[in-house]
Amino acid sequence: MSLFLQLMVNGLLLGGAYAIISIGLTLIFGVVRIVNFAHGEFLMIGMYAVWLFAQHMGLHPYASAPLVALVLFSVGALMQRFIIQPLLSADGHIQIFATVGVSTAMLNLALMVFGADIRKVDASFGAEALSIASMTFVSGQLITFVIAIVVAAGMHFFLKHTFTGRAFRALAQNRMSAALMGVNVNAMYVLAFGIGTGLVGLASGLLAVQYPAFPTVGTYFVLTAFVIVVLGGMGSLPGAVIGSMFIGVIDSLAGFYVGPDLKEVIYFVIFLGILTIRPTGLFGLGRGSE
Q: Between 128 and 239, name the one with better pLDDT.
A: 239
- When pLDDT is averaged across residues 79-89 and rounded to a whole number, the result is 91
Q: What angle do CA 110, 111, 113 make, to 5 degrees?
A: 65
pLDDT digits (tens, 9 = 90+) for 17-62: 999 999 999 999 989 988 899 999 999 999 999 999 999 999 999 9
The pTM for the full model equals 0.92
Stretch (H or E) spanning 146: helix 139-161
> Measuring CA to CA, which residue among 57, 196, 47 is closest to residue 120?
47
Considering the chain, what is the average pLDDT of its residues? Answer: 90
**Cβ atoms of 198 and 76 closer than 8 Å:** yes
Query: How many alpha carbons lie under 13 Å from residue 89 in its C-beta half-sphere?
Result: 3
Task: Give me the residue spans of the domains in the chain.
Answer: 2-277
CB atoms within 10 A of CB 234: 20
* Multiple choice CATH, 2-277, 1.20.1630, 2.60.40, 3.10.450, 1.10.3470: 1.10.3470
Task: Check: CB of residue 22 under 8 Å from CB of residue 223.
Answer: no
Residue pair 48/285 in contact by the 8 Å Cβ criterion: no
pLDDT digits (tens, 9 = 90+) for 192-219: 999 999 999 999 999 999 899 999 999 8
What whole-number distance in Å separates Cα of residue 88 and Cα of residue 94? 9
**Would you say residue 254 has pLDDT above 70?**
yes
Look at residue 175 in the predicted model and tell me its pLDDT.
Answer: 87
**Could you read off the pLDDT of 120-164 as tens digits, one per residue?**
988 778 778 888 777 788 888 999 999 999 999 999 999 999 999
Q: Choose among 220, 216, 282, 219: nearest CA to 251.
A: 220
Degrees (nearest 5) of the Cα angle 246, 248, 252? 120
Distance CA 244, CA 16 (A): 7
Give the list of residues 6+ apart from residue 142 with CB closer than 8 angstroms, or none. 13, 130
Mean pLDDT of 113-121: 91
User: Is residue 27 within 8 Å of residue 155, measured between CB atoms?
Assistant: yes
pLDDT band (50, 70, 90) for residue 3: confident
Q: What's the pLDDT band for 91 if we cut at 50, 70, 90?
A: confident
Average pLDDT over residues 12-16: 92
Q: Considering only CA atoms, which of 243, 215, 175 is closest in space to residue 23?
A: 243
